Amino acid sequence: MKTFFKVLLGLIIVGAIGYTMYFLYQKSQVKPVIYETDSPKVIDIIKKTTATGSVVPRKEIEIKPVVSGIIDELFVQEGEMIKKGDLIARIKIIPNMINVNNAKSRIEVAKINLKEAKQNYERQLSLLEKGVIAKADFESYETAYKNALEELETAKETLELIQEGQTKNSGGKTNTLVRSTIDGMILDIPVEIGYQVIEANNFNAGTTIANIADMGKMVFEGNIDETEVGKIKEGMPLILVIGAIEDVEFEAQLEHISPKGEEVNGAVQFEIKADVKLQEDQFIRSGYSANANIVLDKADSVLAIAEGLLQFENDTVFVEVETAPQVFEKRIIKTGLSDGINIEVIDGLSMEDKIKKQ
Protein backbone atom coordinates (compact mmCIF):
# COMPACT_ATOMS: atom_id res chain seq x y z
CA MET A 1 0.00 0.00 0.00
CA LYS A 2 2.80 2.41 0.86
CA THR A 3 4.43 1.66 -2.47
CA PHE A 4 1.19 2.56 -4.28
CA PHE A 5 0.98 6.00 -2.63
CA LYS A 6 4.61 6.68 -3.42
CA VAL A 7 4.05 5.87 -7.10
CA LEU A 8 0.90 8.04 -7.20
CA LEU A 9 2.67 11.02 -5.63
CA GLY A 10 5.50 10.68 -8.14
CA LEU A 11 3.07 10.66 -11.05
CA ILE A 12 1.36 13.78 -9.72
CA ILE A 13 4.65 15.63 -9.39
CA VAL A 14 5.79 14.60 -12.87
CA GLY A 15 2.38 15.67 -14.32
CA ALA A 16 2.56 19.09 -12.64
CA ILE A 17 6.06 19.68 -13.96
CA GLY A 18 5.02 18.65 -17.47
CA TYR A 19 1.94 20.90 -17.48
CA THR A 20 3.99 23.85 -16.26
CA MET A 21 6.55 23.38 -19.00
CA TYR A 22 3.81 23.09 -21.64
CA PHE A 23 2.08 26.26 -20.36
CA LEU A 24 5.32 28.22 -20.43
CA TYR A 25 6.04 26.98 -23.93
CA GLN A 26 2.63 28.10 -25.16
CA LYS A 27 3.09 31.51 -23.57
CA SER A 28 6.42 31.95 -25.29
CA GLN A 29 4.92 31.41 -28.74
CA VAL A 30 4.21 34.66 -30.70
CA LYS A 31 0.61 34.74 -31.89
CA PRO A 32 0.21 35.76 -35.52
CA VAL A 33 -1.15 39.31 -36.06
CA ILE A 34 -4.46 39.32 -37.89
CA TYR A 35 -5.15 42.64 -39.62
CA GLU A 36 -8.65 43.94 -40.11
CA THR A 37 -9.58 45.26 -43.54
CA ASP A 38 -11.94 47.83 -44.97
CA SER A 39 -13.37 48.26 -48.47
CA PRO A 40 -14.01 51.37 -50.56
CA LYS A 41 -17.58 52.67 -50.72
CA VAL A 42 -19.60 55.04 -52.89
CA ILE A 43 -20.70 58.13 -50.93
CA ASP A 44 -21.25 61.88 -51.24
CA ILE A 45 -18.34 63.92 -49.92
CA ILE A 46 -18.99 67.46 -48.74
CA LYS A 47 -16.17 69.75 -47.74
CA LYS A 48 -17.48 72.41 -45.40
CA THR A 49 -16.65 74.94 -42.74
CA THR A 50 -18.81 75.88 -39.76
CA ALA A 51 -19.98 79.28 -38.52
CA THR A 52 -21.78 79.80 -35.22
CA GLY A 53 -24.52 82.36 -34.66
CA SER A 54 -28.29 82.73 -34.34
CA VAL A 55 -31.41 83.04 -36.44
CA VAL A 56 -33.20 86.41 -36.25
CA PRO A 57 -35.97 88.16 -38.20
CA ARG A 58 -34.83 90.10 -41.24
CA LYS A 59 -37.08 93.01 -40.26
CA GLU A 60 -37.55 93.89 -36.59
CA ILE A 61 -38.60 97.32 -35.38
CA GLU A 62 -39.14 99.08 -32.07
CA ILE A 63 -42.42 100.92 -31.54
CA LYS A 64 -41.93 104.18 -29.63
CA PRO A 65 -44.47 106.81 -28.54
CA VAL A 66 -44.71 110.31 -30.01
CA VAL A 67 -45.86 111.76 -26.68
CA SER A 68 -44.63 111.35 -23.12
CA GLY A 69 -46.89 110.02 -20.43
CA ILE A 70 -48.01 106.88 -18.59
CA ILE A 71 -49.18 103.60 -20.15
CA ASP A 72 -52.91 103.60 -19.51
CA GLU A 73 -53.84 100.43 -21.42
CA LEU A 74 -52.17 97.65 -23.43
CA PHE A 75 -54.10 95.97 -26.25
CA VAL A 76 -51.69 93.20 -27.30
CA GLN A 77 -49.66 90.34 -25.84
CA GLU A 78 -46.30 88.82 -26.71
CA GLY A 79 -46.55 86.28 -29.52
CA GLU A 80 -49.68 87.87 -31.00
CA MET A 81 -49.90 88.51 -34.75
CA ILE A 82 -50.97 92.05 -35.65
CA LYS A 83 -51.53 94.15 -38.76
CA LYS A 84 -50.25 97.57 -39.68
CA GLY A 85 -52.34 100.19 -37.86
CA ASP A 86 -53.54 97.87 -35.07
CA LEU A 87 -53.66 99.40 -31.58
CA ILE A 88 -50.82 98.51 -29.24
CA ALA A 89 -51.27 100.85 -26.27
CA ARG A 90 -52.94 103.99 -24.99
CA ILE A 91 -50.92 106.69 -23.23
CA LYS A 92 -52.29 108.98 -20.58
CA ILE A 93 -50.62 112.36 -20.85
CA ILE A 94 -49.34 114.04 -17.69
CA PRO A 95 -49.12 117.69 -18.80
CA ASN A 96 -46.28 119.96 -17.81
CA MET A 97 -47.79 122.67 -15.59
CA ILE A 98 -45.49 125.36 -16.98
CA ASN A 99 -46.67 124.57 -20.51
CA VAL A 100 -50.30 124.55 -19.32
CA ASN A 101 -49.93 127.96 -17.68
CA ASN A 102 -48.25 129.36 -20.79
CA ALA A 103 -51.04 128.01 -22.99
CA LYS A 104 -53.74 129.50 -20.72
CA SER A 105 -51.94 132.83 -20.71
CA ARG A 106 -51.81 132.74 -24.50
CA ILE A 107 -55.59 132.23 -24.59
CA GLU A 108 -56.20 135.24 -22.36
CA VAL A 109 -53.92 137.43 -24.50
CA ALA A 110 -55.71 136.18 -27.62
CA LYS A 111 -59.09 137.09 -26.09
CA ILE A 112 -57.90 140.63 -25.30
CA ASN A 113 -56.55 141.06 -28.83
CA LEU A 114 -59.75 139.67 -30.30
CA LYS A 115 -61.89 142.06 -28.26
CA GLU A 116 -59.86 145.03 -29.46
CA ALA A 117 -59.84 143.82 -33.07
CA LYS A 118 -63.60 143.25 -32.97
CA GLN A 119 -64.27 146.76 -31.69
CA ASN A 120 -62.11 148.29 -34.42
CA TYR A 121 -63.76 146.06 -37.03
CA GLU A 122 -67.31 147.02 -35.99
CA ARG A 123 -66.38 150.74 -35.80
CA GLN A 124 -64.83 150.73 -39.27
CA LEU A 125 -67.70 148.69 -40.69
CA SER A 126 -70.14 151.39 -39.51
CA LEU A 127 -68.03 154.09 -41.17
CA LEU A 128 -67.83 152.03 -44.38
CA GLU A 129 -71.63 151.69 -44.51
CA LYS A 130 -71.96 155.47 -44.13
CA GLY A 131 -69.42 156.03 -46.93
CA VAL A 132 -66.99 157.87 -44.71
CA ILE A 133 -64.01 155.54 -45.49
CA ALA A 134 -62.97 153.63 -48.54
CA LYS A 135 -63.26 149.84 -48.70
CA ALA A 136 -59.46 149.53 -49.03
CA ASP A 137 -59.05 151.20 -45.65
CA PHE A 138 -61.63 148.89 -44.09
CA GLU A 139 -60.03 145.64 -45.31
CA SER A 140 -57.01 145.96 -43.01
CA TYR A 141 -59.32 146.04 -39.95
CA GLU A 142 -61.25 143.09 -41.28
CA THR A 143 -58.01 141.09 -41.72
CA ALA A 144 -56.86 141.99 -38.21
CA TYR A 145 -60.18 140.78 -36.81
CA LYS A 146 -59.97 137.42 -38.65
CA ASN A 147 -56.37 136.94 -37.50
CA ALA A 148 -57.44 137.56 -33.89
CA LEU A 149 -60.18 134.91 -34.23
CA GLU A 150 -57.69 132.41 -35.64
CA GLU A 151 -55.15 133.17 -32.94
CA LEU A 152 -57.70 132.48 -30.20
CA GLU A 153 -58.71 129.15 -31.82
CA THR A 154 -55.06 128.12 -32.17
CA ALA A 155 -54.36 128.97 -28.52
CA LYS A 156 -57.32 126.82 -27.40
CA GLU A 157 -56.17 123.87 -29.55
CA THR A 158 -52.65 124.19 -28.11
CA LEU A 159 -54.05 123.89 -24.60
CA GLU A 160 -56.08 120.82 -25.65
CA LEU A 161 -52.99 119.19 -27.13
CA ILE A 162 -50.98 119.77 -23.97
CA GLN A 163 -53.71 118.42 -21.70
CA GLU A 164 -55.32 115.67 -23.83
CA GLY A 165 -52.90 114.92 -26.64
CA GLN A 166 -55.55 115.67 -29.28
CA THR A 167 -57.94 118.39 -30.43
CA LYS A 168 -61.65 118.36 -31.17
CA ASN A 169 -60.93 119.05 -34.84
CA SER A 170 -58.42 116.20 -35.24
CA GLY A 171 -61.04 113.86 -36.70
CA GLY A 172 -60.48 111.12 -34.11
CA LYS A 173 -56.69 110.93 -34.61
CA THR A 174 -54.66 111.16 -31.44
CA ASN A 175 -51.03 110.85 -30.47
CA THR A 176 -52.02 109.04 -27.28
CA LEU A 177 -52.88 105.87 -29.21
CA VAL A 178 -49.81 103.84 -30.19
CA ARG A 179 -50.28 101.76 -33.36
CA SER A 180 -48.21 99.20 -35.23
CA THR A 181 -46.33 100.43 -38.26
CA ILE A 182 -45.88 96.97 -39.89
CA ASP A 183 -47.51 93.54 -40.13
CA GLY A 184 -45.83 90.99 -37.89
CA MET A 185 -45.58 89.30 -34.50
CA ILE A 186 -45.19 90.95 -31.12
CA LEU A 187 -41.83 89.65 -29.88
CA ASP A 188 -41.52 91.65 -26.69
CA ILE A 189 -43.45 94.22 -24.64
CA PRO A 190 -40.91 95.69 -22.20
CA VAL A 191 -43.48 97.99 -20.48
CA GLU A 192 -46.52 97.45 -18.29
CA ILE A 193 -49.61 99.45 -17.43
CA GLY A 194 -48.56 102.42 -15.27
CA TYR A 195 -45.08 102.53 -16.80
CA GLN A 196 -43.84 106.03 -17.60
CA VAL A 197 -42.70 106.47 -21.20
CA ILE A 198 -40.76 109.18 -23.02
CA GLU A 199 -41.30 110.26 -26.59
CA ALA A 200 -38.54 109.99 -29.17
CA ASN A 201 -36.77 113.29 -29.77
CA ASN A 202 -33.41 114.76 -30.75
CA PHE A 203 -31.96 114.13 -27.30
CA ASN A 204 -33.57 110.81 -26.35
CA ALA A 205 -34.22 107.60 -28.27
CA GLY A 206 -37.54 107.24 -26.47
CA THR A 207 -39.07 104.34 -24.57
CA THR A 208 -39.70 101.14 -26.52
CA ILE A 209 -43.29 99.98 -26.07
CA ALA A 210 -43.10 96.87 -28.27
CA ASN A 211 -40.76 94.98 -30.59
CA ILE A 212 -42.43 93.73 -33.78
CA ALA A 213 -40.92 91.47 -36.44
CA ASP A 214 -41.92 89.74 -39.64
CA MET A 215 -41.32 86.08 -38.71
CA GLY A 216 -41.85 84.95 -42.29
CA LYS A 217 -38.42 86.25 -43.31
CA MET A 218 -35.49 85.06 -41.22
CA VAL A 219 -31.74 85.44 -41.56
CA PHE A 220 -28.79 83.68 -39.99
CA GLU A 221 -26.27 86.03 -38.37
CA GLY A 222 -23.01 84.48 -37.32
CA ASN A 223 -19.25 84.75 -37.18
CA ILE A 224 -16.52 82.90 -39.05
CA ASP A 225 -12.82 82.74 -38.26
CA GLU A 226 -10.32 84.69 -40.34
CA THR A 227 -8.65 81.42 -41.40
CA GLU A 228 -11.86 80.34 -43.14
CA VAL A 229 -13.30 83.61 -44.45
CA GLY A 230 -11.07 83.55 -47.53
CA LYS A 231 -12.64 80.25 -48.64
CA ILE A 232 -16.20 81.53 -48.82
CA LYS A 233 -18.05 83.94 -51.08
CA GLU A 234 -21.52 85.40 -51.36
CA GLY A 235 -24.07 83.09 -52.94
CA MET A 236 -22.69 79.89 -51.41
CA PRO A 237 -25.24 77.40 -50.03
CA LEU A 238 -25.42 76.76 -46.29
CA ILE A 239 -26.81 73.88 -44.27
CA LEU A 240 -28.31 75.31 -41.09
CA VAL A 241 -28.60 73.22 -37.93
CA ILE A 242 -30.67 74.76 -35.12
CA GLY A 243 -29.99 73.37 -31.68
CA ALA A 244 -33.59 73.70 -30.47
CA ILE A 245 -35.01 71.80 -33.47
CA GLU A 246 -33.71 68.25 -33.57
CA ASP A 247 -33.15 66.17 -36.72
CA VAL A 248 -34.06 69.04 -39.07
CA GLU A 249 -31.73 70.86 -41.43
CA PHE A 250 -32.57 74.17 -43.10
CA GLU A 251 -31.20 75.46 -46.35
CA ALA A 252 -29.77 78.97 -46.51
CA GLN A 253 -27.79 81.12 -48.92
CA LEU A 254 -24.86 83.33 -47.95
CA GLU A 255 -25.67 86.95 -48.81
CA HIS A 256 -23.22 89.08 -46.83
CA ILE A 257 -19.64 88.86 -45.57
CA SER A 258 -18.43 91.74 -43.43
CA PRO A 259 -15.38 93.52 -44.89
CA LYS A 260 -14.14 94.25 -41.37
CA GLY A 261 -13.27 91.74 -38.68
CA GLU A 262 -13.53 92.09 -34.92
CA GLU A 263 -11.35 90.46 -32.29
CA VAL A 264 -13.30 87.99 -30.16
CA ASN A 265 -11.46 86.07 -27.42
CA GLY A 266 -8.14 86.67 -29.12
CA ALA A 267 -9.28 85.59 -32.61
CA VAL A 268 -10.45 87.80 -35.47
CA GLN A 269 -14.03 87.01 -36.47
CA PHE A 270 -15.98 88.21 -39.51
CA GLU A 271 -19.75 88.62 -39.45
CA ILE A 272 -21.77 86.80 -42.10
CA LYS A 273 -25.48 86.82 -42.97
CA ALA A 274 -27.50 84.23 -44.85
CA ASP A 275 -31.08 84.10 -46.08
CA VAL A 276 -32.91 81.17 -44.44
CA LYS A 277 -35.38 79.12 -46.50
CA LEU A 278 -38.17 78.37 -44.05
CA GLN A 279 -40.19 75.17 -44.01
CA GLU A 280 -43.96 75.43 -43.82
CA ASP A 281 -44.32 73.04 -40.88
CA GLN A 282 -41.57 74.60 -38.75
CA PHE A 283 -41.70 77.76 -36.65
CA ILE A 284 -38.36 79.36 -35.85
CA ARG A 285 -38.27 81.64 -32.84
CA SER A 286 -36.15 84.76 -32.88
CA GLY A 287 -32.73 84.24 -31.32
CA TYR A 288 -32.41 80.47 -31.78
CA SER A 289 -28.72 79.52 -31.71
CA ALA A 290 -27.55 77.75 -34.85
CA ASN A 291 -24.53 76.37 -36.67
CA ALA A 292 -24.17 77.05 -40.36
CA ASN A 293 -22.23 74.50 -42.39
CA ILE A 294 -20.94 76.34 -45.44
CA VAL A 295 -20.41 74.00 -48.38
CA LEU A 296 -16.97 74.75 -49.88
CA ASP A 297 -16.96 71.84 -52.35
CA LYS A 298 -19.02 68.73 -53.03
CA ALA A 299 -18.57 65.41 -54.87
CA ASP A 300 -21.66 63.25 -55.43
CA SER A 301 -21.57 59.44 -55.54
CA VAL A 302 -17.79 58.96 -55.67
CA LEU A 303 -15.56 56.06 -54.62
CA ALA A 304 -14.07 56.86 -51.23
CA ILE A 305 -12.20 55.34 -48.30
CA ALA A 306 -11.62 56.38 -44.71
CA GLU A 307 -8.82 58.93 -44.59
CA GLY A 308 -7.18 56.96 -41.77
CA LEU A 309 -6.32 54.16 -44.23
CA LEU A 310 -3.88 56.35 -46.14
CA GLN A 311 -0.12 55.98 -45.74
CA PHE A 312 2.50 58.43 -46.93
CA GLU A 313 6.03 58.03 -48.18
CA ASN A 314 7.69 61.27 -49.27
CA ASP A 315 5.17 62.76 -51.72
CA THR A 316 3.51 59.43 -52.47
CA VAL A 317 0.12 58.35 -51.14
CA PHE A 318 -0.53 54.62 -50.92
CA VAL A 319 -2.58 51.95 -49.18
CA GLU A 320 -1.93 48.28 -48.45
CA VAL A 321 -4.28 46.04 -50.40
CA GLU A 322 -4.89 42.39 -49.52
CA THR A 323 -3.76 40.03 -52.33
CA ALA A 324 -4.19 36.80 -50.33
CA PRO A 325 -5.45 36.07 -46.81
CA GLN A 326 -3.40 38.36 -44.55
CA VAL A 327 -1.00 39.14 -47.38
CA PHE A 328 -0.78 42.79 -48.37
CA GLU A 329 1.00 44.85 -51.00
CA LYS A 330 1.50 48.60 -51.38
CA ARG A 331 -0.60 50.31 -54.01
CA ILE A 332 -0.20 53.93 -55.01
CA ILE A 333 -3.52 55.75 -55.40
CA LYS A 334 -4.71 59.15 -56.57
CA THR A 335 -6.98 61.01 -54.16
CA GLY A 336 -9.42 63.89 -54.52
CA LEU A 337 -11.83 65.74 -52.25
CA SER A 338 -11.75 65.12 -48.49
CA ASP A 339 -14.17 66.07 -45.73
CA GLY A 340 -11.70 65.22 -42.96
CA ILE A 341 -13.14 61.74 -42.42
CA ASN A 342 -13.51 60.23 -45.88
CA ILE A 343 -11.48 60.97 -49.00
CA GLU A 344 -12.29 60.52 -52.67
CA VAL A 345 -10.27 57.94 -54.59
CA ILE A 346 -9.81 59.00 -58.20
CA ASP A 347 -7.59 56.11 -59.34
CA GLY A 348 -5.95 52.95 -58.00
CA LEU A 349 -8.80 51.13 -56.20
CA SER A 350 -12.02 49.28 -56.94
CA MET A 351 -15.02 48.31 -54.85
CA GLU A 352 -13.69 44.73 -54.46
CA ASP A 353 -10.35 45.73 -52.92
CA LYS A 354 -9.72 45.11 -49.24
CA ILE A 355 -7.46 47.64 -47.50
CA LYS A 356 -5.46 46.96 -44.36
CA LYS A 357 -6.40 49.05 -41.36
CA GLN A 358 -3.58 50.64 -39.39
Task: State the amino acid at position 286 in one-letter form.
Answer: S
> Cα-atom radius of gyration of the chain, to the nearest Å?
44
Amino acid 318: pLDDT: 86
Please state, in angstroms and rounded to a whole number, the distance separating the CA atoms of residues 194 and 73.
8
Instruction: Please state the CATH superfamily assignment of the domain spanning residues 33-58+215-358 in this structure.
Output: Efflux pump adaptor protein, beta barrel domain (2.40.30.170)
For the segment 183-233, what is each residue's pLDDT rounded down to a tens digit? Answer: 999 999 999 998 889 887 788 888 999 999 999 899 999 999 888 888 888
Amino acid 36: pLDDT: 83
For the segment 130-184, what is each residue's pLDDT rounded down to a tens digit? Answer: 777 788 878 888 888 888 888 888 878 777 766 666 556 655 556 688 899 999 9
Q: Helix (H, G, I), strand (E, B), or coil: what is residue 149?
A: helix
For the segment 234-271, what is each residue's pLDDT rounded down to a tens digit? Answer: 998 888 999 888 888 899 999 999 999 998 888 899 99
User: In terms of CATH architecture, what is 97-164?
Assistant: Orthogonal Bundle (1.10)
Please state, in angstroms and rounded to a whole number, the distance separating the CA atoms of residues 238 and 241.
10
DSSP-derived secondary structure for 179-195: E-SSSEEEEE----TT-
Could you tell me where in the chain the CATH 2.40.30.170 domains are found?
A: 33-58+215-358
What are the φ/ψ torsions at residue 135 (nearest 5 degrees)?
-65, -35
Please state, in angstroms and rounded to a whole number, the distance separating the CA atoms of residues 255 and 6.
97
pLDDT bin (cut points 50, 70, 90) of residue 24 is: low
Amino acid 2: pLDDT: 62
Fold of 60-93+176-213: OB fold (Dihydrolipoamide Acetyltransferase, E2P) (2.40.50)
How much of the chain, in percent, has pLDDT values that exceed 90? 24
Half-sphere exposure of 115 (CA within 13 A, CB side): 5
pLDDT bin (cut points 50, 70, 90) of residue 86 is: very high
Could you tell me where in the chain the CATH 2.40.50.100 domains are found?
A: 60-93+176-213
Average pLDDT over residues 330-357: 87
Task: State the amino acid at position 319 in one-letter form.
Answer: V
Average pLDDT over residues 25-31: 61
pLDDT bin (cut points 50, 70, 90) of residue 88 is: very high
Q: How many residues can be counted in the chain?
A: 358
Average pLDDT over residues 11-16: 72
- E strand spans, 11-97: 37-38, 41-57, 60-63, 69-74, 81-82, 87-92
